[in-house]
Amino acid sequence: MAAEPAATTTAGKAARVACAHCGLDVPPGLVVEGAGNQFCCAGCRTVWDVIYGHGLERFYRIQESSGAAAMPALTTGRRYAEFDDATFRDVWTREVEPGVRTAELYLEGVHCAACVWLIERLPRVARGVIESRLDLRRSLVRIVWDERGTTLSAVARALDSLGYPPHPARDSKSREARLREDRKFLVRIGVAAAAAGNVMLLAIALYGGAYSGVEAERGAFFRWVSLAFGMVSLAWPGSLFFRGAWAAIRTRTAHLDLPIALGLGAGAAAGAVNTVLGRGEIYFDSLTILIFLLLVGRWIQHRQQRWAADSLELLFSLTPRFARRTGGEEVPVEALRVGDVVEVRAGESFPADGTVTEGESAVDQSLLTGESRPVPVAAEARVCAGAVNVSRPVKVRVEAAGDDTRAGRLMRLVEEYSRRRAPIVQTADRIAGWFVAAVVALAGATFIVWLRVDAAQAIDNATSLLIVTCPCALGLATPLAVAVAIGRAARAGVLVKGGDALEKLARPSRILLDKTGTLTEGGCAAIEWEGDAEVRALAAALEASSSHAVALAFQHDAPARGVHRIEHVLQTASGIEGTVDGRAVAVGSAAFASRRVAAAPAWAHAVHERFASRGLTPVWVTVNGNVAAVAGVGNPIRPDAAAAVAELRHRHWSTAILSGDDPEVVAAVARRVGVPPEDCRGSVTAEEKVAIVEEEARRGPVVMVGDGVNDAAALSAATVGIAVHGGAEASLAAADVYLSRPGLAPIVGLVAAARRTLRTIHVCLAVSLAYNGVAAALAVTGVIGPLIAAILMPLSSLTVVLLAFWSPTFGEPPCR
């Protein structure tokens, strides 16, 4: 971290000192007198050395000219030994030719044009690298290297030393499949555009001819060419709609493709017949443009959703995928076997289920169980994959790895529920069903009525009705409105995987909130403090030397090291004591503290009871044999939680809490955020959460908000699952929406935006239906001429497109 302002402090150095690498201020303590280049952190120094060492200093000029904001280097100094493991090689890398392999890696810290330049100069930093290509948007680099010249771990170390820690990119197969799908879609759009453009040119000639006269022979020629282009457009890009319609018929569901296919089919049939017979309208200009516009609309929506999915994938890849065998050897998690002994350092998560063989520490299982307090572990204690080792390194004997772990089993539940969940029927599709019925009925009626007048006229009017009512605007409105909303949401820090989720959030329903990590923040802190405020710093200074679970709660208050003189520290399971600046300080449980005072005062007992009843852990602080303060330790509630819950309730959402933590703690949090106590459930296991969500889902839509592995299955079982910032990997996989910023305010923003999006869709639909209604009336009565139809159709599309873009779907967040 380098952003500490350097000015105004210490030793006559009034001027700011800029870091030679990132340009941010160097903290005064790190300024080296007399040195030419100053660095804000070790990472920046490493990167600067590497860049100058390889003659790549142009990087700084490019960065300057690109105007990108500076970022301190992210080097980790890891060895990346697991990148050379045989399992890793099989899973993540591919051979291009004998001895030459390629791999895709996600990089942290990629942010600007200069990064592209530096990363693509990798062959000059790491020998044996043949090529290095970066995809800036995805932060994905493709490395081709010569196995005889280097190892992948060396390449990874080189990237790390440049300030871009690499992570293996998962799912390269599914990414390739998606890439192929994207290309196919683009080809479709290209073909549709070419066909539409050419038919349009011919149509201008034909419309012109209709007024000024055209030789019959030449007119027929133009019509035949139009037919050819039209058929290409229908058979290739247009086949998408016919396939969609066929699938809808087979599964007996309404889909927007159905009326589109109906209109396209009727138009094509009439156009072909009229071309052959040499009379009437041929419609191919309208049809080809229609196909093109619909494809473009879908493509835009598709891109936005893909972008959200890519961002999520990047997050996935940042979770650690390696384990450290004893002896320091790093291996990929996939290579772990039962019986292996792994070392887990403080701050790392356990790679597998197992038993502690050596060391003592505290384990934060909040992501797995929802339990808010870290649990102390010692030898023979069981630990689960996904839990975080909080305080000290421990060694663990692996008992279950991969899919056999508790987290792995929960992931299988997630998959099962996401398969079982019924798809959400979108508004446009629901309307499409009625639309088809109405249009077909109307066409039939038109045909019968006109049959009495003239058979040929009856066919003409019925088909022109089918074509004119073809829901071009209807098909454009929904994807565009959704794409605009998803794009704006992403900028506001909300990643939405699919448009259907957005639609479900538009109407108030029931929202189930997880407690730990969702309503409250992840770690512990001393939330309440009753007594001498000055003692707080002393207690924090003393606790800074401990790694006990409760001690970590004081770390936010801890003054800088060296401010206080700390001596004679003695630590037991229930507390810690020592002298701080000559005063005897003890911090610990009530029993631990009362042994150090003559008589505990009544107020301390009263405060103790009060804290305990609120679900906080009371911690006593004594100074020189007197009780100086009582602290209440617990998960701090997110600052915006109460406001967000109030806003949701104001918008008629019914809120409830579903937590794996102790019911008393849950009730205490519920009171603070304003959820009625009868809607709170504590001590709920992951399986029970699913059961509750399913039960609720039978009664109506349920939105589940959570962060943990224990929430994942419930997230996938819910109508819409929302994973909050900092959640477990499993919850990301299961959720439909991911908040990339901390706090609950984004949920309120999302709900409001979803509502506005649905309103936009409705307005667009109303406008396009009005157009269709007018056009249909004209067609039924036979008033409508080909020219009017040709003008009306693009006009309705244009109105809808403008409406979708202009409506403020994701404007200012209403909650603040």
Residues of the shown chain interacting with other proteins in the complex, contacts defined by CB under 8 A: 55, 58, 62, 66, 113, 116-117, 120, 123-124, 130, 134-138, 146, 179, 182-183, 186-187, 190-191, 194, 197-198, 201-202, 218, 221-222, 225, 228-229
- Distance between CA 508 and CA 648 in Å, rounded? 9
Number of C-beta neighbours around residue 55 at 10 A = 9
Query: Nearer to other proteins by C-beta: 195 or 735?
Result: 195
Query: Nearer to other proteins by C-beta: 117 or 207?
Result: 117
CB of 137 to other proteins, least distance (A): 4
Query: Nearer to other proteins by C-beta: 181 or 403?
Result: 181
Cα torsion through 291, 292, 296, 302, rounded to 10: 40
CB of 810 to other proteins, least distance (A): 22
Query: Nearer to other proteins by C-beta: 225 or 777?
Result: 225
CB of 155 to other proteins, least distance (A): 15
Q: Reduced to 3 states, what is the DSSP secondary structure of residue 152? A: helix
CB of 226 to other proteins, least distance (A): 10
Query: Nearer to other proteins by C-beta: 130 or 273?
Result: 130
Task: Tell me the CA distances in angstroms from 647 to 42, 505, 696, 754, one per residue in order.
Answer: 45, 15, 22, 15
Q: Are strands 510-513 and 702-706 parallel, antiparallel or unpaired?
A: parallel
Query: Nearer to other proteins by C-beta: 111 or 395?
Result: 111
Query: Nearer to other proteins by C-beta: 179 or 451?
Result: 179
Q: Reduced to 3 states, what is the DSSP secondary structure of residue 722? A: strand
Task: Tell me the CA distances in angstroms from 684 to 368, 514, 635, one per residue in order.
Answer: 12, 10, 18
CB of 181 to other proteins, least distance (A): 12
DSSP class of residue 84 equals G
Q: Reduced to 3 states, what is the DSSP secondary structure of residue 472? A: helix
Query: Nearer to other proteins by C-beta: 197 or 700?
Result: 197
Query: Nearer to other proteins by C-beta: 217 or 567?
Result: 217
CA angle 524, 528, 530 (to 5 degrees): 140
- Distance between CA 713 and CA 734 in Å, rounded? 7
CB of 64 to other proteins, least distance (A): 13
CB of 216 to other proteins, least distance (A): 14
- Count of helices and strands (H, E) across the chain: 27, 27
Positions of E strands within 599-753: 617-623, 626-634, 654-658, 680-681, 702-706, 720-723, 737-739
Query: Nearer to other proteins by C-beta: 185 or 316?
Result: 185
CB of 122 to other proteins, least distance (A): 13
CB of 77 to other proteins, least distance (A): 26
- Distance between CA 251 and CA 304 in Å, rounded? 28
- Distance between CA 267 and CA 442 in Å, rounded? 16
- Lookup: tokens for 84: 């050379």
Query: Nearer to other proteins by C-beta: 193 or 744?
Result: 193
Positions of E strands within 217-318: none
CB of 367 to other proteins, least distance (A): 34
CB of 54 to other proteins, least distance (A): 9
Task: Tell me the CA distances in angstroms from 308 to 641, 734, 808, one per residue in order.
Answer: 25, 14, 20
Q: Reduced to 3 states, what is the DSSP secondary structure of residue 325? A: strand
Buried-state track 763-792, b at ≥16 Cβ within 10 A, e below 16: bbbebbbebbeebbebbbebebebeebbeb
CB of 184 to other proteins, least distance (A): 9
Query: Nearer to other proteins by C-beta: 303 or 755?
Result: 303
Query: Nearer to other proteins by C-beta: 103 or 134?
Result: 134
Q: Measuring CA to CA, which residue among 619, 592, 594, 603 is closest to residue 528?
A: 619
CB of 162 to other proteins, least distance (A): 16
Number of C-beta neighbours around residue 643 at 10 A = 18
DSSP class of residue 678 equals G
- Distance between CA 119 and CA 520 in Å, rounded? 40
CB of 285 to other proteins, least distance (A): 15
DSSP class of residue 661 equals S
- For residue 356, the Cα-to-chain-centroid distance in whole angstroms is 34
Query: Nearer to other proteins by C-beta: 112 or 438?
Result: 112
CB of 105 to other proteins, least distance (A): 15
Positions of E strands within 426-508: 494-496
Contact of 706 with 727, CB cutoff 8 Å:
yes
CB of 36 to other proteins, least distance (A): 22
What contacts 552, CB < 8 A, 6 or more positions away?
A: 362, 374, 390, 391, 523, 524
Query: Nearer to other proteins by C-beta: 175 or 672?
Result: 175
CB of 215 to other proteins, least distance (A): 8
Q: Cα-flanking dihedrals φ and ψ of residue 397, to 5°?
A: -90, 125
DSSP class of residue 801 equals H
Q: How many residues are there in the chain?
A: 816
Contact of 74 with 108, CB cutoff 8 Å:
yes
Query: Nearer to other proteins by C-beta: 288 or 731?
Result: 288
CB of 61 to other proteins, least distance (A): 10
For residue 512, give the H/E element and its range. strand 510-513
Query: Nearer to other proteins by C-beta: 135 or 329?
Result: 135
Q: Measuring CA to CA, which residue among 84, 160, 82 is closest to residue 330?
A: 82
Query: Nearer to other proteins by C-beta: 57 or 454?
Result: 57
Q: Measuring CA to CA, which residue among 516, 506, 514 is closest to residue 715?
A: 514
Residues linked to residue 538 through DSSP beta bridges, in sequence order: none
Q: Measuring CA to CA, which residue among 612, 605, 630, 628 is closest to residue 620?
A: 630
For residue 571, give the H/E element and its range. strand 566-572
